[in-house]
Each structure stands twice: as structure tokens, then as C-alpha cells.
Structure 1
Amino acid sequence: MLRSPSTAQHTGSQRFSVLSCNPARLLAILVGACVQLVGGQPLIAQTDSRPDIVLIVADDLGWGDLGCFGAEDLETPSLDGLAARGQRWTNFYANCTVCSPTRASIMTGCYPDRAGVPGVIRTHASNSWGKLANLPTLPEVLSKAGYQTACVGKWHLGLSPEDHPQSRGFDSFHGFLGDMMDDYYTHRRHDIAYMRKNRTPINPAGHATSLFAGWANQAIDRMADQDQPYFLYLAFNAPHTPIQPPASALARVQQRAPEMPETRAKLVALIEDLDAAIGRVLSNIENRGRDTLIVFVSDNGGQRNVGANNGPLRDGKGSKYEGGLRVPAIACWDGQIPAGSETQAMGVTMDILPTLCEIAGSQAPTGIDGQSLTQWAQHPNAPQDPREVYFVRREGGNAYSGLTIEALRQGDWKLVHNFPTSPFELFNLATDPTESQDLSRKQPAKLRSLQSALRLHIQRGGQVPWQPIPQKPTAQ
């Protein structure tokens, strides 16, 4: 079995705890005040005890690329401190191995292919593989529950006006509409400027990571002055390629570890710069003194050819092996769970929406695929029924040419079809967490059963259109 590192040795200056809510607290949200017995002592919940919610998403951060997840060659005190005061989810999955699909799952609580985003949304229609479906989104649901909502950073769920964050439920947007940046300082993609303040194009100066942290703090300052709770979605581009850390961050790493290969040093510097930026946001939240739930997650595994560390997991970004799908996840909410806890319950990014809805006292949309995780946040060792979770990616480009790769985890069993011309592989993660022993020939019945289930899911996802409807030309 994989053993995840303890957080006991990690400390930090932030004071937070977790993605959890017990039933009595939720009842207080819905019907007023209630009394809950905790260790024999009464806890009085206030009439409106809903926390502010801050969801932070990193881009391509590997499972093993934080100190609190075992990294020994980098320093991430902000996120290590967050984990020490909250909860690490060591068995948490992104819904896909690339950016747009996972973000669609976060916004809708649905499988990406059922949300109309089976692949990466890009600038050019000939190589764009998604159109976010007309489904209720997380900011829409929280807004109806009385939350202020703000989106800062990378969007990557559509470039058209109807797909703009403010058309999908956010009150405000300050960030980058597109996919990856070609340069962290010029903020362009295909020489197109995608930075926006709400709907207005902007051309700010500075490294994108620092800009996003600053804009997040502006949003917090604005919303925290109001009586109602707020939801901030903060999505960084880092540490996605290009691996372009600030020169000062790289110099610190090279001075500390001169023997580190340059490829790894640059990525470490980019991650450490990200951690420092997150630390500035956490400090602002701390100074505000408001009850705040903070969730941190990566959108997929780390990219190995630029030096990412996915721990003992096999492969990385783009792959349906564990290194491409399992991601570091931290959830903190002061006073709601024991500090420094860890759960091995399985979570998936599509679970974020129903979890946050439950905490906010709001009803999650019907028909979604995710499930609330509050039970395991509050009780990390609570039993969990085996889950059946699908991972589908439809993609183009030179490597894929419009083909589909997929995986299915059913309890401890995992079916992997990592390239259309490759055979299906079967693993048992309980006995083989590094996916080194293909059991497809030894377990043909299990192989056929999982293939059949996966086929049905792909058919279900295929019912959802994922390409923009062509517009008829208008008279000039």
C-alpha cells in the first residue's frame, strides 16, 4: 500500500481547518440555531453560520510536489501549514488528466463528458474539444444561497461571450480566459490577449502568479466588507508550462540546491513562487478574521518531462495511470475537524460542488454525478462504500488525432485504456498501487465486466453535444 507522509513535521503561520460540516451545523444553517454535543460539551451554532469559501486550483501540480505530500527538494510552507491545520486527502482524483475537463467537473458536479467538455477547449475550433453545457454551475447555486461570487485567474471553459465566467454565474471576473499562457509576463496565447477585468480586455504588467494573488486579495477585500458570505474561485496557471519562474525564485532554489538539475530547479522555483503567492492570500484571509473554508486541489497530475514529481504513482499528466489522475488535495476550516488529519477516502473533483453546496446550506442540482464528502472530512476514518468512477478524455492534436482514452475505477479495481491502439489493462490498486502488474489475462471476467460498464458510460457521455452549434451567416 502507498503510505502518505505525515504532516506532523510541517508547520506554518496560517490558522485554518477543513472541508467539513456536521449535520447539526447544517441544520443551523437551514432552520436557525441548534445545539450539538461535542465531547459532552454543548456547541451553540449561530443562525447564519455559513463560512466564506475559497477554492484554490493549481495547474499541473504533481501528487508529490508539496512538502506535505512527501517532497524533500522544495519548500512549500504556506500549503504545508494549511495541511497541518486542516486535512490532507491522499486518495483524491481529478476528473481528467488535462485542464478543461477537470474544471468543467468542478463547475458542474458532473463527469466532464456529461458537462460537454470531454477534452481541452482551445482557441482554434479545429482543435477544440468541448463546449460547456447549459447546466447549473457552482457559482450560480451559491449565489442563489446568498453568496457573493468572484472568479480570479485561469478560466479555460470557453472564449465566447456566453461562456464568460460572468455568463456562468460569477459576479466578477479578473483573470485569463484561455488555456495556457505562452509567457507568464506577456499573458498571451497565439498572440491573443486573453486577460480580462470582468469583460474588459486588460494588459497588466507582472508575473501571472503574482497578479492573480493580488487580484484575489482585492476581491477578498471587496467582498469581506459585506455582511453576506462570499465564494472565491482562485485558479492559477502555475505550475503549467512554460516553466517560467521569477528570476528571484529560481536564484533562491539554485543557491539552496546548486546540484539540482536545471529542469527540476525551474519547476521547483515555479511551485515555490506559487506557494508564496497562496501564502499572501491566506494571510489576508487570516487578517480578516472571518470564518473561512479553504479547499486546495490540482487539476491533474504533474507533467513528468518538465520535472514533476508524482511520488510513487505511475506516469503523469495526460495519462490515465494514477500519476495523471491522483492529485494533492487539502481542505481546511478552522475548528471543524482535528488539525493535521488525513483521510484515505476517495474524492473526485466533481464532488467539490455537492460538498460546498451542503456546507453552504444549499441544495445541489439534481442529476449530478458527484457526492458530498463532508462525512469523511468530519470523520476521516469513516467507512466508505466502494465507488465506481469513470475517466474519459477525447482529444485531438498531433498525438491523438481525435481519439478517446479512458479509465474506470471500481472499488480497488482499475481498468486503463491509455491509448486507442493499446490494449486494455487491469490493475488491483489494493495490492498494486503502482500499477505494475496487468491482470487482464488472469481476470478475464473482471476485464469484460469493467469494459462493458465503461462502454455504457461513454455512450451516456456521447449524448451531450460538445461542439458549438455553427452559426448561419448573416447578411452584410
Structure 2
Amino acid sequence: MNVKRYLLVGAMVASIPCAVAEKPNVVVIVADDMGYGDLGFTGHPHIKTPHLDALSKGGASFQHFYSPAQVCSPTRAAMMTGRMPHRHGIYSFIGGSSGNLTHLPKKEVTLPQLLRKNGYQTAIIGKWHCSLLQVQMKNDQIPSMDHYGFDYWFCSDDNAKILDKPGWLRNGKSEGAKSGLAANVVGKEAVHWLKNVRNPEKPFIQFVHFYEPHWYVEAPKEDVQDYLKAATANRSEAIYFGAITNVDREVGRITGALKELGLIDNTLILFSSDHGPAKLGKGKADRNYGTATPYRGNKYGLWDGSIHVPGIAHWPSKVKAGLNVTTPAGSIDWLPTICEVTGTALPGSLELDGQSFYSLLQGKKMLRKKPLQWHHYNTNAKNRPNPNAVLRRGDYVICGFYDPETQLRAASWKVKHIEKIKNGKLVKFALYDITKDPQQTKDIATSEPQLFKAMLKELVESHQQYQKEAVGWNGVTPVYP
């Protein structure tokens, strides 16, 4: 199957803007390390998420929504570009070292850039993680947030500390630490921008990226006590539950502000997580009680639960309440979808891996030009054996594995890892019906030989293309094939 042709066709289809009488506003809300099963509307028996449940009930809820990668930085770069990690060169999380120069390359076209050209205000509140901001501001070779398309930004590089988070920057100026929990800081700042900074005469896109429930997990004391009384005797678990409820509360604060300002009906709100939940460790401070139920896997892997995440699209004037979307889609599709609904044209030469799912929000079908797929060069000790290449078509998922003896077992990115990306070989394969077997325990390759043969060919060809096109790095400079 010609993957290049898929990309070109997808790009041409996505480049046709729709006619929109009044440009809608867009709010993109992303949680960090939140599992598919961590919310009320996805079936968690204890965690209370009334505001996200209401968004789901009042709009479209995706049953099969996916993140573009299994860790944060490559996912966030893909959300901004509609392109998979091998195209933008961010393959794993960007570690906190002051010498880490990895960044979203200057040549990449971002969603905020495109919308700003179309008259939109652009803002991001919370986690960025497509570069280290403190490094970025001291190195002219790393693009600025203005270059990436943001008129306004309020972010911190400290992605782990949740209580009294340090390192906040507002439009490049240091504001130091902010007291309280990160979710409450982000929610408050998002509302501040909506009410006090935004120009009411122009449409806007606002990215609200929470840091929770990423480790170190923290929560309001009141929520912890409530969960200890009603749901669990495990304090660490209660803290995790409370962290998600606190994020939900801030989502309610933001939607409340949109209602107060009379903006809710013409605002498309998109919600998801950057990948699946972190796996519970053995340390006393480990509070990673997230779940991908009913799917297998967690953060760092490519089992379905590693990348199968919650997905909501809420837009009262356009999206029917209670819409249940069963067609697979993902946040890799956000850029072309948002461009379509806002009437924003895409450059004709731009190769996208995502595709607009606006037709799904209208209750129509979507013929996916290119399958959802994932490729990752390493594995993690907590997930072995772990797939290195995955492709989904309809209800079916095919997984490819490298030789376990040669799999890289490092989580964070190093420049030398490009050799593994370029030279890794798939030696084992398995086929699953993800709707009937969400835990991926029954390989149906032998019982579905024709399907397996077709999907195997597609997976191998796409993985070869991934290896051929993978961007490398020479210090601060991306190296394109």
C-alpha cells in the first residue's frame, strides 16, 4: 500500500476549507497521564467528573479516540502539527536538563500559526513540552513561542511538581512559583485570559494543558477526605481520584466562564489526554492509580491502553448532544478538523498524518484515507513485551515487535537513538479484534489469514516509510533525510 499516496490525498482533502458564517472559537483541553477509564462517562466506579461528563453528554463522545504517541512531548508536537513523531523529530519526552536542545523544528507548520493567519487570537495556558522554555529563551536557534504562533502564553517547564509549581513564565517573563495546585493555577489563568486579555472582537483558540494527574500526584484535602470516606481506604489512591476531580472542577470553571461571556454555543471544546495512565510503581510516594480499563497497557507502551484515551467534542450550535462516535479518530486529527471548521486553508504541500473528523461530528461517516498508526523504537521494563509498531483498521489492530534482545530500554530521548529508529527490525506480529478483545490476549492471525496478510503488508510498508523519513538531530539542528 502506498503510504505516500495516503498522505498526499489526506492533505488535499483537508486543505479544502468549509464555509463558516461566523468563525467559531476553539478551546483545546488536555490532561496529562489520564487513562481512558479514569472518568465517570468512561465507566470509572468512583471518580467524580461531573463537568466532563456533562460535556460528553452535551456533545460527542468518542469510543475509540487515540493519542499520537505513548509519552507527552511527541504527542503534544503531533497535536500542534497533525504530523507523527518521525516527521517532527520528537520521539520521546524532552527531559528537564538545561542542556536539552530538542524542540519542535522551525520548519514545522503549527495549528496556532495557521489560525493566527486566519484572524484568530492564540493562547496556551499550562504544559507546552515541545521544547524547554528556559533553554529556548537563551538560544536563538530554538524558535520562540511567537514563532510557533502564540500571541499569549503562560507555562512552566516543571512538569512533575504539582503543588506550588515553580518556573512559571508569562510571555517570556518569569513569575516564579505559584502557590496551590497546578490545576487550579491553570484554570484560573485560562479564565483570566478569557475575561481580561482576549479581544472580544476577534475569534480565538485557547489551549488549556493541565499537568495532572501526572506524578507527583496531588489533590485538594477536601477531595481526598471525601474519597477516603466513600470510595477507598488507600490514601494514595484517594489522592489520585481527587486530582482528577480537581481537573474536572477547573474544566467546569472554564466552561462556566464561556457561558457567562455568551460564548459557549459557538465554541468548539475538544478534550483528551496526552496518552494512557502511568503504571503503579512500588514507592510509597507513587500515586499512579490511573486505569486504561477495559484496554491493556499504560504510558510508555504501544498496547491499546497506552494510546486509547478519552475524547470529547462539544459545540452546542453544531454538534448534537449525546452523539456516540464509534469510528476511530485521535488528536492527530485535531489540526485538520479545526482548520476545516474555522475555514482555515492548509498549505497544499503540507503532508499530514491526521484527517478532519468534522463529518463524524455531523453524524456522518468518515472514510479514513490513512490508518491510525504508531511506531516507537524502544520499550519499557514495565511494559515488556511491548509492540514497536501498531496499525488500526476498523475494529482490528496489528502489532509488530522488535527482537526483545535488541529492544532499547531507555525512556528519554538521546540523539544516538536515531540508529535504533533507522535499523530496528520487526520480527514478530499479532492481530487483535480490539472491540471483542480489548485486553489483546487472543491473537487471531491464524484464524483470519487474509486480513492478517493485508494488514501485515500495510504495517511493514508504513514502518519502512517511518524509518526512511525519520528526522534525526545534530545538536540543536534537525537533520532531515
- Matching of residues 29-48 of structure 1 within 5 Å: 29=20, 47=21
1:335 and 2:317 matched: yes
- Structure 1 residue matching 2:41: 3-state secondary structure: helix
Q: Root-mean-square deviation (CA), in Å?
A: 2.8
> Where does residue 346 of structure 1 map in the other structure?
328
* Alignment partner, residue 198 of structure 1: 171
373, 397, 401: which one pairs with 1:390?
373
Residue 469 (structure 1) aligned to one of 449, 454, 475: 475
Q: 1:167–1:75: structure 2 CA closer, same or farther, 3 Å change rule?
A: same
Aligned to 2:131: 158
Look up the match of 1:315. 297
1:264 aligns with 2:219: no
Name the structure 2 match of 1:36.
Answer: none
Structure 1 position 293 matched with structure 2 position 268? yes
Give per-residue Cα distances to partners, 1:223-242, cap 9 Å, x unaligned.
54430101101111111111
Identify if the C-alpha distance between structure 1 residues 62 and 304 changes in structure 2 by more than 3 Å, giving closer, same or farther.
same
Query: What is the CA-CA distance between 1:383 and the residue it aligns to?
Result: 5.8
SS in 2 for 1:68: coil
Query: Relative to 1, partners in 2 of residues 1:220 and 1:367: Cα closer, same or farther, differing over 3 Å?
Result: same
C-alpha separation in 1, matches of 2:435 and 2:40: 25
TM-score w.r.t. the length of structure 2 is 0.79
* Amino acid in the other structure paired with 2:361: A
Map 1:441-452 → 2, pairs under 5 A: 441-442=446-447, 447=452, 449-452=454-457
- The answer for the alignment partner of 2:440 in structure 1 is 435
Q: Does 1:211 align with 2:176?
A: no
Alignment partner for residue 358 of structure 2, among 368, 374, 379?
374
Secondary structure (helix, strand or coil) at the match of 2:309 reads coil
Distance in structure 2 (CA, Å) of the matches to 1:456 and 1:429: 22
> Distance in 1 between the 2:226 and 2:402 partners?
40
1:470–1:344 CA distance, 2 compared to 1 (3 A): closer
Q: Is the 8 A contact 1:53 1:293 kept in 2?
A: yes
* One-letter identity of the residue aligned with 1:360: T
Alignment-mate amino acid for residue 374 of structure 2: F
8 Å CA contact retained: 1:238, 1:270:
yes
Cα deviation for residue 430 of structure 1 reads: 4.5
Task: Give CA-to-partner distance per residue, 1:241-275, whole Å, 9 cap, x none.
Answer: 11121323212222333x44333212101000111
Q: 1:185 is matched with which residue: 134, 151, 163?
A: 163
8 A Cα contact 2:432 2:443, kept in partner: yes
Q: Compute the displacement of 1:406 (Å).
A: 2.4
Residue 277 of structure 2: aligned partner: 302
For the residues of structure 1 that align with 2:260 and 2:476, how far apart are their CA atoms? Answer: 50
Unaligned ranges ≥5, structure 1 = 1-25, 30-46, 472-476
Name the stretch that deviates more: 149-158 or 294-303: 294-303
**What is residue 4 of structure 2 aligned with on the other side?**
none
Q: CA deviation digits over 1:187-226, x for unaligned, max 9? A: 25xxxx4x21111222122211111111111111235443
2:148 counterpart of 1:173: no
Query: What is the identity, as a one-letter code, of the residue corresponding to 1:236?
Result: F
Name the count of aligned residue pairs.
Answer: 418
| Structure 2: distance between partners of 1:312 and 1:251 | 28
Task: Return the match for 2:43 from 44, 67, 70.
Answer: 70
Determine what percentage of the aligned residue pairs are the same residue: 27
C-alpha displacement of 1:427: 1.3
1:80 lines up with 2:53 in the alignment: yes
Task: Report if the CA contact (8 A) 2:31-2:272 is conserved.
Answer: yes
Structure 2 counterpart of 1:54, from 11, 24, 27:
27
Per-residue CA deviations over 1:25-49 (Å, capped at 9, x if unaligned) read: x7543xxxxxxxxxxxxxxxxx4x1
In structure 2, C-alpha distance between the alignment counterparts of 1:436 and 1:128, rounded to whole Å: 40
Q: Which runs of no fewer than 5 residues in structure 2 stay unpaired?
A: 1-16, 281-287, 406-427
Matched letter for residue 128 of structure 2? W
CA change 1:301–1:406 in 2 (3 A) is same
Q: 1:127 to 1:415 in 2, by over 3 A?
A: farther
8 Å Cα contact 1:415/1:426 also seen in 2: yes
